Structure formats: structure tokens, C-alpha cells
């Protein structure tokens, strides 16, 4: 069956450390993978997109990797800050002309001062 898996347990880290979140998928062939941030009571906000032929993408303190062999994406936040505390969702855009995103359940990140 098709699945997107993100760690359901919250990730607790100390301010200044690097947070690493994992997104694994099975039985999908995504053209793109996106990461979104969601704060309580709000809709998700787009952060980064990485294409299937890209290995790594960076934006300020954020870095995303995409390994289509392992069927895994890693999302890193360097020099983490308490303001980075939120739930982070990965989403797959499937190849084949489809335009809908398939979302994971998200991982909650808590950055402690």
C-alpha cells in the first residue's frame, strides 16, 4: 500500500542545535517533494520544494535532501530557535500530470531555550 511516514513522536532539541526531520514513503513515484510548516490553529505554510532529480536544496537555515532510492527526504534546520517550534509536514506531488499533494501526518518540533 502507499504510505508517507513521518515520526509521530515530537522532536525536542536544544536551541542552537540542528533539527533533523524524516519523511519516508513507499509505493509512490513523486515528481516533487515539499515541506510545509504548520502552527497550531493555522493552515500549513510552504517552505521548500525539491525535485526528483535534485539531491539537496537550501534556503537560509533550512536544508532538504531527497533520496529517491531510499525513498526518503530529510529536513534540517540549523541553529534552531524556539520560534522554529511547529509541526512540519512533508508532501509528495505525484508524477503523471496529477496536481494534488499527498501529505504526511507531520512531526512536531519543540526547540527549548
Partner 1 sequence: GAGVSQSPSNKVTEKGKDVELRCDPISGHTALYWYRQSLGQGLEFLIYFQGNSAPDKSGLPSDRFSAERTGGSVSTLTIQRTQQEDSAVYLCASSPQRGLAALSSYNEQFFGPGTRLTVL
Q: Is there binding between residue 101 and partner 1 (CB under 8 A)?
A: yes
Under DSSP, the state recorded for 94 is E
The least distance separating partner 1 from the CB of residue 62, rounded to whole angstroms, comes to 13
Find the part of the chain contacting partner 1 (CB under 8 A) among 9-17, 68-76, 77-85, 103-111: 103-111
Q: Who's near 77: CB < 8 A, 6+ residues apart?
A: 18, 19, 61, 62, 84, 109
> How many positions of this chain bind partner 1 (CB under 8 A)?
22
Q: Is there binding between residue 10 and partner 1 (CB under 8 A)?
A: no
The least distance separating partner 1 from the CB of residue 14, rounded to whole angstroms, comes to 25
Q: Is there binding between residue 89 and partner 1 (CB under 8 A)?
A: yes
Where would I find the H helices in the chain? none
Q: Is there binding between residue 34 and partner 1 (CB under 8 A)?
A: yes
Q: Is there binding between residue 99 and partner 1 (CB under 8 A)?
A: yes
Residues 97, 72: contact at Cβ < 8 Å? Answer: no
Cα 60 to Cα 94: distance, rounded to the nearest angstrom = 27
Residues 73, 102: contact at Cβ < 8 Å? Answer: no
Residues forming the site for partner 1 (CB under 8 A): 4, 8, 32, 34, 41-46, 49, 89, 91, 93, 99-106
Amino acid at each position: 500500500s502507499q504510505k508517507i511516514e513521518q515520526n509521530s513522536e515530537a522532536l525536542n532539541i536544544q536551541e542552537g542545535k540542528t533539527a533533523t526531520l524524516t519523511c519516508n514513503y513507499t509505493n509512490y513515484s513523486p515528481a516533487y517533494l515539499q515541506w510545509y510548516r504548520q502552527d497550531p490553529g493555522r493552515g500549513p505554510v510552504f517552505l521548500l520544494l525539491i525535485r526528483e532529480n535534485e539531491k539537496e536544496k537550501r534556503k537560509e537555515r533550512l536544508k532538504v535532501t531527497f533520496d529517491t532510492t531510499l525513498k526518503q527526504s530529510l529536513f534540517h534546520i540549523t541553529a534552531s530557535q524556539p520560534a522554529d517550534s511547529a509541526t512540519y509536514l512533508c508532501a509528495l506531488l505525484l508524477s503523471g500530470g496529477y496536481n494534488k499533494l499527498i501529505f504526511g501526518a507531520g512531526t512536531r518540533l519543540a526547540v527549548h531555550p
